[in-house]
Structure 1
């Protein structure tokens, strides 16, 4: 591809050698004029200049609210998953691919799903219908949790806030068919209307589980009555946003005596949990559940449990179940016009129930060794740049710098997939029952989740799947997580210059690593203990920096919105991380390539800008402006570079131009 331009250049040089001096001078003037617009564009709106081709080629289609380069990356990752599953269905290699191929095939075969009807849930309903006494209820609750259908409450593994090196089991509120407990207690007309639609939906599902027509209204009211009692003892959702509000460890040895009728000690045994403590942050709720087990007739519990099974499994059963589920949850609650295409529904279900299985195969197929090696190399270099930045940070005192060095030394970099694999011993699936396969996969998934509970298991899993594009800093485990799906264009493109790789992937790494040492990261120290290791003076210095960033970004006009500016306070922490990420990646690149050319330096910044091209409708922009903690793409690209003298040098932008602030206006995270 370089031969034709080179030949043209040689030809032009020969012609220029024969030209007169005055003609030569005029040619130089014309050449200078031809180059001027490109330079001016980069110095006026680098985002628009660097992404001009993308923005021209990617206009929004009717009904599509947004499009971005990173959304396209997610779409590509989903297409890769479909390709993998199609291959596993046609010619599986190994046990895991056989499971996935059968699962996929059973979900795509709609005729088979219709023939299967309600057979997948028949054994669950039979067990529920066999309940005779109050003491039978807790065992059925435990059994449904085992197959991935949480009823009455939620129970899951999460980090122990007093010991970040382990997970404990969290007993938390749940068991409701509506997402917010307030739906059951508010009396306004809109809420009452939602509850009326919900009652109709409950009746449809109960009818499908076997309730006679004459009893539907009464049984639906029993369900809503029981859920209302649970909701009345539940905390408002706003109170649950702080993780500490959900954390209240108690000794498991006390559960049998405290919750005799609910049988929580036996519940833990059924889940395979033998740890010495669990969290119960709302004991009043569990006292209420304990009382309800003994105080309500078993028949009411049976109705509630049948409903919960039907609601949870409806998307995976025959059409009457799916239609009832979509009419309420899709059309009424979510405002969707039509269900997602069948293929997308099945892929989502596999990710939900067997995501780690799919992730294992995805890594093997779509993460080349070269990509992983380059990702580790760049991340390691950016981590080193962060160490140098922390050492020279004028805001941190000697003690904080020592703590930061120790924390950085302990920071782990995990690329592609979690380091510990899972146990894939699973009941064979086959292709005859999609709903049955959902239950097999959910049972396996729950079993593996329960293994996270206990000492030494906190790093067992990620909170993202390898097949989902993600690059994140895990605060509790002090580790950088980069999924396999993330290591492809525009984030990491081995066909581009090394500089562009640092500008894109390296800057994202720097962004995430900075979170370990910012106003959030300061709450966990080098020993993974939850404590604030900054002094008041250091906190004040950081807040002063944050106020400058908030003010600067608050002056930017929001794309697609007339008269609306970016909320600098709402986006402050992520804007700081963007600035930090580009600074660190630039330092790491210059350390790795100290003799970089001007063109290479420009490629670094083009790599950064290539992450952020974005198209938004006015409605989508309005929603983003109101809620998103990230700046829109234009300012994620432009905000950092206008603060960096190195960008101005690379592109010849003079101080005072839009993309090169005056020196006294520039903000540096690490001077």
Structure 2
């Protein structure tokens, strides 16, 4: 049972971390670096290449990466700076319990290759033996929860967060899980690429068991057991597209009804193992996958569950054990799934691990050293300007009734805006970092996080809590709290440049802001009211008109061939595509307002309008391997970077006007066929 903060926030992109120092690549106050472009390509033929071709050529994929873009560049730069912060803690030999001691000792353990390789499988040996000692199905759930207390996910997921229909109160929630490949299609699809991934997955499972000391025959049998359980769970699971329906993910019930609806799981043992005293009400996102788990627990031989539980332990621990475990895990998840050729160096993996377990402790040091107060002040002004522009866009929609517009404006004005870093930091005093083993500290950190989360059951939602660390290059919208959040690390070039003019900043960070605001009104966000409650607040007929317009976007992206024979998933990426569409329109309108007060001229041969779109495109510059394209297309709600440019801009009239795009250009779309929502 994977216990985590499973909140469906709408993030701007895949998570990365970075720093806020320097403005690398800025050539003038226009914010445009001509070297990033490829002007041999016409803007109306391939705007992604036109705007980003020079950058892409200058940053080819190295063996370490399956995707490398501006996000990854910032992440890479910041890793070095965060490394300095962390290593300074390690050098200080801080007093027991201090920030310096926890950060320093954890990093030292992660870096100690001699100890890790000498220990081998020893750090998880006792846990493997404890699982092997199971003799009765009544012991499965208690063991599942023991592993959950160590951060090991198994049959399903659970978390504590706002009741979707009573957003002021935290409730216990249960969701599908239990399949380590993430999406059900990996287990069920029969195309040659997916079949090959499954075959490699089987080899990986077997190898992990052999490394853990099992014989070849035992490893083969256990691999078959694991695939049998994961495939059965996959068959009952819901797809990524189906999981995007908030209403369908809401099945609130009493604890008594949970035991009645899903009798196959020993819920009393589950809650007892988690240390939960009482649950009166809870939400089960989807019943069928959990019911299937209950059936499996009661019908399959205990030996198969032993194999499944042992595998999940080994797989979760592999990254924190000896080099042979690390290499085996990378060979599958890194090489086979993503196309990467070599693993990150140990120091990078160690930095990432410390950031993952002690994120806000590192964040405090990061903000103190790298985040300028002036950036927050300018962001607040930008956010306000974007709110005004979105309000005007809402008022201008002819398809929306007046009563819905009123409530939409109320929701817009109720946005909770977070910029930079939290006002209150997490308290890590109860988390001990000791020198026994790397894995033991991973378990302690997981238990600390789990206890912190479970302590919130039945308590008011803390709307000041942050769901990303300040050193994360990203932004998000959370429908349950109606908040937009912009961590400190995204406030840097090419997203935000204190030295660049408004055309550059509105095209980059302005679109990011508009993107997150639009999430409050995309196909998912629009179903939540200004208080964060899942509630139908739209006037009769408006939702149908919205859906009709959104379908144009779904159909458009469904026709994009991202690889030979592989097409984009317009339904899966609908929310993010709507947010890009709205973000572009809102930010462009805000730029026009800003230029009334502070007119801008031609810079580097480009008008302000052209620089707006060039800045937007540069945010998505990057290269990607075919393997990673397949992973993202199957599971990521974001469109691929290329299509967040070439798929989004042809629906924006201002882009046509700025670059003189005509019906003779291949990217041209007739006005009546364009998306028009916000």
Q: CA RMSD in A?
A: 4.9
Which range moved further: 512-521 or 349-358?
349-358
Question: Aligned in 2, Cα 1:383/1:305: closer, same or farther, shift over 3 Å?
Answer: same
Question: Aligned in 2, Cα 1:600/1:511: closer, same or farther, shift over 3 Å?
Answer: farther
Which range moved further: 103-112 or 290-299?
290-299
Equivalent-residue separation in structure 2 for 1:565 and 1:138 (angstroms) = 41
Which range moved further: 635-644 or 583-592?
635-644
Partner of 2:3: none
- Counting matched residue pairs gives 624
Q: 1:528-576 CA deviation, whole Å, 9 max, x = no partner?
A: 3323433455456546765777899999x999x9999999999776565
Partner of 2:590: 588
What's the CA shift for 1:424?
0.6
Partner of 1:75: 76
Which of these two proteins has the greater Rg computed from alpha carbons?
1
Question: Aligned in 2, Cα 1:269/1:182: closer, same or farther, shift over 3 Å?
Answer: same
Question: Aligned in 2, Cα 1:533/1:287: closer, same or farther, shift over 3 Å?
Answer: closer
Equivalent-residue separation in structure 2 for 1:261 and 1:656 (angstroms) = 61
Question: Aligned in 2, Cα 1:78/1:558: closer, same or farther, shift over 3 Å?
Answer: farther
Partner of 1:89: 90
Q: 1:322-358 CA deviation, whole Å, 9 max, x = no partner?
A: 3444455545555554433323333343344444444
Partner of 2:217: 217
TM-score by length of 2: 0.74
Partner of 1:606: 611
Q: 1:490-545 CA deviation, whole Å, 9 max, x = no partner?
A: 11111222453233212221222123234444322234332343345545654676
What's the CA shift for 1:477?
2.3
CA contact (8 A) 2:64 2:340 kept: no
Question: Aligned in 2, Cα 1:163/1:420: closer, same or farther, shift over 3 Å?
Answer: farther
Question: Aligned in 2, Cα 1:224/1:539: closer, same or farther, shift over 3 Å?
Answer: same
Partner of 1:143: 146
Question: Aligned in 2, Cα 1:83/1:189: closer, same or farther, shift over 3 Å?
Answer: same
What's the CA shift for 1:610?
2.2
What's the CA shift for 1:399?
0.7
CA contact (8 A) 1:105 1:431 kept: no
Which range moved further: 267-276 or 657-666?
657-666
Matched, 1:162 2:129: no
Partner of 1:340: 344
CA contact (8 A) 1:491 1:501 kept: yes
Partner of 2:269: 266
Question: Aligned in 2, Cα 1:655/1:334: closer, same or farther, shift over 3 Å?
Answer: closer
Unaligned runs of 5+ in 2: 1-38
CA contact (8 A) 1:642 1:658 kept: no
Equivalent-residue separation in structure 2 for 1:593 and 1:352 (angstroms) = 42
Equivalent-residue separation in structure 1 for 2:326 and 2:628 (angstroms) = 33
Unaligned runs of 5+ in 1: 1-37
**What SS does the corresponding residue of 2:283 show, helix, strand or coil?**
strand
**What SS does the corresponding residue of 1:517 show, helix, strand or coil?**
coil
Matched, 1:412 2:416: yes
Equivalent-residue separation in structure 1 for 2:286 and 2:547 (angstroms) = 35
CA contact (8 A) 1:609 1:637 kept: no
Partner of 2:393: 389
Equivalent-residue separation in structure 2 for 1:603 and 1:69 (angstroms) = 22
CA contact (8 A) 1:389 1:670 kept: no
What's the CA shift for 1:579?
4.7
Q: Compare relative contact order (CA 8 Å, sep 6+) and give the higher one, 1 or 2.
A: 2
Question: Aligned in 2, Cα 1:282/1:219: closer, same or farther, shift over 3 Å?
Answer: farther
Partner of 1:454: 458
Which of the residues 351, 361, 368 maps onto 2:372?
368
Matched, 1:629 2:639: yes
Partner of 1:3: none
Equivalent-residue separation in structure 1 for 2:568 and 2:149 (angstroms) = 46
Q: 1:91-139 CA deviation, whole Å, 9 max, x = no partner?
A: 4789334322221221122112123333322443454456566544433
Which of the residues 114, 118, 131 maps onto 2:117?
114
Instruction: Give the alignment of 1:263-342 within 5 angstroms.
Output: 263-273=266-276, 274-280=278-284, 301-302=305-306, 304-331=308-335, 336-342=340-346
What's the CA shift for 1:376?
1.9
Which of the residues 421, 428, 437 maps onto 1:433?
437
Equivalent-residue separation in structure 1 for 2:188 and 2:551 (angstroms) = 41
Equivalent-residue separation in structure 2 for 1:453 and 1:146 (angstroms) = 17
Equivalent-residue separation in structure 1 for 2:196 and 2:553 (angstroms) = 45
Question: Aligned in 2, Cα 1:642/1:88: closer, same or farther, shift over 3 Å?
Answer: farther
**What SS does the corresponding residue of 1:529 show, helix, strand or coil?**
coil
TM-score by length of 1: 0.75
Instruction: Give the alignment of 1:402-551 within 5 angstroms.
Output: 402-418=406-422, 420-431=424-435, 433-457=437-461, 459=463, 461-535=465-539, 537-539=541-543, 542=546
Equivalent-residue separation in structure 2 for 1:226 and 1:185 (angstroms) = 15
Equivalent-residue separation in structure 1 for 2:436 and 2:467 (angstroms) = 32
Question: Aligned in 2, Cα 1:107/1:388: closer, same or farther, shift over 3 Å?
Answer: same
CA contact (8 A) 1:176 1:227 kept: no
Which of the residues 104, 107, 111 maps onto 1:104?
107
Partner of 2:228: 228
What's the CA shift for 1:259?
7.3
What's the CA shift for 1:375?
1.3
What's the CA shift for 1:313?
1.0
Equivalent-residue separation in structure 2 for 1:375 and 1:44 (angstroms) = 34
**What SS does the corresponding residue of 1:599 show, helix, strand or coil?**
coil
Q: Where is the helix percentage greater, Structure 1 or Structure 2?
A: 1
Partner of 1:643: 654
Partner of 2:34: none
Equivalent-residue separation in structure 2 for 1:296 and 1:552 (angstroms) = 45
